[in-house]
Structure 1
């Protein structure tokens, strides 16, 4: 079954908007796990506009499920942070400095050598690796050459076109997942997955191991409450035809 990792960046955004420690990101992470979440994801950025570096150290002490740290390994102290905290998984994302959110996967061919070096270093430290890729068979094949354990499919294009034509929206993702399966790569997915589009994605992507969901889940929690919302998303990740 597909695991649900809750991205708590938006909780940190709310906290930072007023200063202080309300909401408390550590407590929210603990609550998400208590409500059934199977992982906690954070994506610290150099300007610390949401998750701060100290948050990562604090969360490492209390997360009992899978801890996933996302980020750009070429920015700031990211590599140092990951090696110091040794999460379950590191997900490498090619964010441009100052980008509002992630908006593209790696060119795994052009950046092959750099990714190989980073992945070897993280794996030597006992950290599972994943790299953010577009639904492009060539990029998945390139990912295999980096030595990564998993890929994370960048799902914004799927979410954007889901309402108009969900069969067309998912086509490239199914093809990319099939290639990943053939190559022995684990498959994660994330970005703009929601209660509206998650079930169809989960049911059509073969061997989908994990989804990381933050923005939509936090927004839904404003209406449904956090405990109920985590349960709703868990239901979608465990859906069977």
Structure 2
């Protein structure tokens, strides 16, 4: 049976519980943010001094810095922690005078989750939340998994995470390509390394046992999915794919959700 994708006009606790429990592979919330503002914000971000490329995935452009990049060196990790709150404030300016989609997501999650939500911290240090990513023509993301414990080995807060969701708000979609692909499977660290592409963060899609679920996002839509599942971004064929994204970690309904990028 093909894994289910839930569509809801509102982000609510029931949808999050279904997603975290594996009842659905993804949760789609159409029109989470106004389309016309999405396009304006994407244009502002592209002109930002913060605009650059991933250190460990240089074909992908981004505004802000991903925690995933900080695994490359101790220096990058120090910069990440030192500038996390500053980057959050700078990202917020792109949307003035409107509420940013990431701030809206933070507020909604705090309202609907029994124990609320908070900005992520590791070892007493605040994390950045709200990374914007740009996939130009011919650029995508290889099949991969995002697991906080892999990026922060030996850190108690990371290793205690029970469920990790990826949240993407789509500011712009290309005329062709750019689909989200999700394989209903999780690889162990050993399996991931065996299937790994040399010199890349990703794995060979040909070595995956299942066919992926394909989702064609729309501008202004919020999509959440389990980031521990193998997932990829299809290459954009014409135009640009721009997302504003973060992770949401759960340790159960009695614990506060943690958010970071």
Length-normalised TM-score, structure 2: 0.24
Larger proportion of strand: 2
Bigger helix fraction: 1
Give me the TM-score of the superposition, normalised by structure 1. Answer: 0.26
The answer to which structure, 1 or 2, has the higher relative contact order (CA under 8 A, 6+ apart) is: 2
